[in-house]
Amino acid sequence: MTQTNSSTFLEDLDGDTLHEECGVFGILGHPDAATLTALGLHALQHRGQEAAGIVSFDGKQFHTEKHMGLVGDHYTNPVTLAKLPGSASIGHTRYSTTGEVALRNVQPLFAELEEGGIAIAHNGNFTNGLTLRRQIIATGAICQSTSDTEVVLHLIARSRHSSTADRFIDAIRQMEGGYSMLAMTRTKLIAARDPIGIRPLVMGELDGKPIFCSETCALDIIGAKYIRDVENGEVIICEIQPDGSITVDSRRPARPQPERPCLFEYVYFARPDSVVSGRNVYQTRKNMGANLALEAPCEGDVVVPVPDGGTPAALGYAQASGIPFEYGIIRNHYVGRTFIEPTQQIRAFGVKLKHSANRAMIEGKRVILVDDSIVRGTTSLKIVQMIRDAGAKEVHIRVASPMIYHPDFYGIDTPDAEKLLANQYAGAEAMAKYIGADSLAFLSIDGLYRAVGGEPRNPENPQFTDHYFTGDYPTRLLDKEGEKAGRKVSVLASHG
């Protein structure tokens, strides 16, 4: 019998969604540092499900635990947490967009420097990481991972500055792209955010001890107080003093740029209960749905969300249109590694492994399906067919974001441009025909801007990062240019 990889089967089911690279969490000076970090990573699990890692420091030495899989699969074990003593800890949950899936790429990465050890974790992607990697390898450096985070460690080690904090700042000033980053030394917890604030990072406090994490939901889970967002381009250095007190030093760029947070944090990535750049994610998603109802009205009997991402937008659409909201699709939250051999017959189940039609809410009705985004359209096609099979009279799709035309290079795993549905068909009508819907409409870019920021897009100085919709990339793409020139990085396959 031919053996088929069941994990690949499930990846196929999940291949029509966008994934973001990582979530980070760090705390300094708390006796339960590792446990709190594990809880914080659990709240950030939606930002990466491939692997998780934690590094702690107990005043004498660093300790690390890295595991493939979910946070709850490993870090709920008291034996594992007992291996992470100390009052300082940083952690990372990963979805890879740069570097293959292997334990050696799981962050935080650690290195021994002249001043002592340093651990680093980051969320996002460097657009010049491979370019810098080639440069440092040409001068004799050896890279053990394929993660672009390792480049930062090399730059720190090579910096001519005396203190670790200054070396860190010197290193990240050479990096381009979208990122939020944490570093931990023997006495310091350092947080940094990219110059235009593409990726989110917030500062909190628990029992007077500083915390940094990707989203406010990670503060909520441990009862920590939100202090403020780390500003774009800012580096915050928290240091334990000999008397046990903690000092906080903020370093801001001499020439700050306007903040341009990633719109997809609001559309899809961030948890609905998080606050990103001062905006409640759940409310912005409801605003998207309300604006969509105004821009693309539709006669229907019921508004049905494509769970879970489309639910807040569907609520907004229903409230603005006056059409009843119903859960016409029920999501199975327990789809994981399957024991079922993915034969062709099983593959035919397709999207039903994740979504089931609620026939009582659909049969004989004109259904308005609301989703957060459409990437390749394969999932939408299957869902529309499932809704029709459940007896729907009509199926209309409304998408609470604009068409996606361009790939991302800042930490979102997107298909190549030619694989995006918007680039395969000439307009929404042709796309609707492919998907099998009676109609299809997307939220406009100005409608999305109004939902998030309250005003339309300023084409001269866009308020958000929106290149996947507009093609307006906010930074140089040096690695992409090098790729066109045929310069690539070698990859060692790892099966451990």
| Residues identified as active-site | 22
Residue 256, SS3 per DSSP: coil
Residue 392, SS3 per DSSP: coil
Cα-only R_g, the chain: 23
C-alpha–C-alpha distance, residues 220 and 229, integer Å: 15
The torsion angles phi and psi of 162, rounded to 5 degrees, stand at -85, -45
The torsion angles phi and psi of 5, rounded to 5 degrees, stand at -75, 110
Residue 4, SS3 per DSSP: coil
- Report CA-CA distances (Å) from 200 to 122, 161, 216, 228, 288: 11, 28, 10, 11, 20
Query: Is 323 within 8 Å of 370 (Cβ atoms)?
Result: no
Nearest residue to 437 via CA among 404, 397, 392, 378: 397
Cα dihedral 226, 227, 233, 239 sign: negative
Nearest residue to 187 via CA among 247, 234, 122, 120: 247
Residue 71, SS3 per DSSP: helix
DSSP 425: S
Element (H, E) at 370: strand 366-371
The torsion angles phi and psi of 132, rounded to 5 degrees, stand at -70, -35
Q: How many CB atoms lie within 10 A of CB 163?
A: 13
Residue 20's DSSP bridge partners are 412
